[in-house]
Amino acid sequence: MSNPTKVLIIEDEQLIRWSLKKRFGAEGYLSDEAETGKKGLALFGESCYDLVMLDYKLPDINGIEVLRRIRALDPDVVVILMTAFGKVEIAVEAMKLGAYDFVSKPFQIDELMLQVERGLETTRLKRQVRDYRESMKTQYGFDHLIGESRQMKDIYELIQDVAASGSATIFLLGETGTGKDLVAKTIHYNSDRADQPFVNITCTALSETLLESELFGHERGAFTDAKSQKKGLFELATGGTAYLDEVGDMLPALQAKLLRFLEEKTFRRVGGIQDIKVDVRIIAATNRDIQQAVAERDFREDLYHRLNVITVELPPLRERDGDLELLARHFVDAYCREYRKNITEIEQGAFDRLRSYSWPGNVRELRNTIERAVILSKSETLTASDFVIGRQDESSSFNLRGLHLPPDGVDLHDVEAELVRQALQRTTSNQTKAAKLLGLSRDQLRYRMEKLGLLHSNTRP
């Protein structure tokens, strides 16, 4: 059950206090009253109020000064200033100090209650946003990062320094599943931008045209489906952080536009002619070998150097000495709470099984493996047989651990090309279905097809 709405009435005229208190009681609100500014401030300091009805002319302290002190104590509370002096200067000053509204005496109580209801809704929304941001700060606090290995302790120290710095560009490198998105959010919610937006987008999730529109926005009529003006991610993130995941797979034309934005912090919406300047921190991430991508001219060298201001390279799970057991216990505890299971022990044989695997999907793969084991377990003890690791399910005949590197080595480019060809053959060149077979998005598949020279010979969507 939610707490009742609380209103504070600071007014020296007894009849007005009585009238307001009676009406607020009829609406189900709790109200306190004070006839002086000092008493009102004392009450406000002792309790949490949703709305304050404040008289401008009080016998001891000017209402404007009371407003200033109230806003210093709680910037989210709604204050409606009441006065018999309907001067524009008073209203302007009150609004500058954060008053929600300004009413002249005498007022119609029904009209005033409409203002009160709108004001209370504003308070609720502000506090919901504040509570959400506080929960994010707690969820992504440094104490929630799991890992005791030397590699991860170095990473934690680095990202604490990065979060506290004013660096506008951060580059996260690491294999799939190493926790780049977690690090990005931890940096944001432990920085001075924590109260501003954190927005993210996966750079391979959309076509080039749609991704440009998502990043930079568009003007009405810029293209067929542009029915109205739309703000892009960079504009929405102003003051906060924009997280660009899988930036290493961004197509060349957009790379050039991203470089211009990073250099100038200005952009134009698609179809626009006006430069828009924003203040936004960019955190970019990729699971590619970015230096190899630069060498192969898949990624612009100038963009790489512009992103490579502060680089955080996350180690794969197989290189994090001692962290696997710690993470496994953490995930078991978390999923036991979520699924109301009572697993009290993990056999040593289970840990031996987990350690014997290379975890190409890293922490994400480990987490999913643990979740499955917890859900399906019938016992209070997890054993080695509870863990299905890698592609060991009976429906798949392809076992990664059964692959062997030939003595003379192999050209990885040829292996990738052959797997893409087989996926396309099996799906009769249906790129959407072929991408699903390979665990890729359609745009990721098309990127690889173009790189491998297979795109023009397979044009079916």
Query: pLDDT class for 128, splitting at 50, 70, 90?
Result: confident
pLDDT in tens, 275-314: 999 999 999 999 999 999 999 899 999 999 999 999 999 9
Residue type, 425: Q
pLDDT at 407: 76
- Residue of 63, 439, 423 lying closest to 431 (CA atoms): 423
Query: Are 219 and 274 in contact, with CB atoms under 8 Å apart?
Result: no
Inform me whether the pLDDT recorded for 393 exceeds 50: no
pLDDT at 2: 61
Q: How far apart are CA 110 and CA 19, in angstroms?
A: 12
Work out the mean pLDDT of the chain and round it to a whole number. Answer: 87
pLDDT number for residue 399: 54
Q: What digits encode the pLDDT tens for the residues 336-377? A: 999 999 999 999 999 999 998 889 889 999 999 999 999 999
| pTM of the shown model | 0.70
pLDDT at 460 over 80: no
List the single range of 57-61, 139-143, 288-292, 341-345 with lowest mean pLDDT: 139-143
pLDDT at 1: 45
* Nearest alpha carbon to residue 343 among 331, 351, 327, 332: 332
**If you average pLDDT over residues 330-341, what whole number do you get?**
93
Looking from the CA of 33 toward its CB, the CA atoms found within 13 Å total: 15
Average of per-residue pLDDT across 170-195: 94
Q: For the sheet containing 51-55, what is the strand order? A: 30-34, 6-10, 51-55, 78-83, 101-104
State yes or no: pLDDT of 89 exceeds 60.
yes
User: In sequence order, which residues have a C-beta less than 8 Å from that of residue 307 and are 6 or more positions away?
Assistant: 169, 171, 247, 262, 282, 284
User: Rounded to 10 degrees, what is the CA torsion of 306, 311, 317, 319?
Assistant: 120
Domains (ranges, CATH) in the chain?
6-136 (3.40.50.2300), 148-315 (3.40.50.300), 318-386 (1.10.8.60), 409-452 (1.10.10)
16/12 Cα distance (integer angstroms): 8
The H or E element spanning position 46 is helix 37-46
Which tokens go with 241?
């952080």
How far is the CA of 122 from the CAs of 50, 77, 101, 283, 306, in angstroms?
10, 9, 12, 32, 41
For residue 351, what are the contacts with CB-CB under 8 A and spacing of at least 6? 324, 325, 328
pLDDT band at 395 (very low <50, low <70, confident <90, very high): very low
Task: For residues 121-130, give the mean pLDDT.
Answer: 84
What are the strands, taking DSSP E only, across 73-154?
78-83, 101-104
Q: 218-232 burial, b if ≥16 CB within 10 A, otherwise e?
A: bbeebeeebeeebeb
Q: What is the pLDDT of residue 457?
A: 59
Q: What is the pLDDT of residue 403?
A: 65
What pLDDT was estimated at residue 90?
Answer: 76
The reported pLDDT for the residue numbered 397 is: 46
Percent of the chain with pLDDT over 90: 50
Percent of the chain with pLDDT over 70: 94
pLDDT tens-digit readout, 214-243:
999 988 888 877 888 889 999 999 999 999
At residue 441, the pLDDT reads 78
Q: Looking at residue 163, what DSSP letter applies?
A: H
Quick one: pLDDT at residue 334?
92
Q: How far is CA 247 from CA 108, 158, 172, 205, 441, in A?
A: 58, 22, 10, 11, 14
Helix axes 150-164, 180-189, angle to 10 degrees: 40
Which one is predicted more confidently, 109 or 170? 170
Rounded average pLDDT over 407-413: 80
Q: Please state the rounded mean pLDDT for residues 409-425.
A: 84
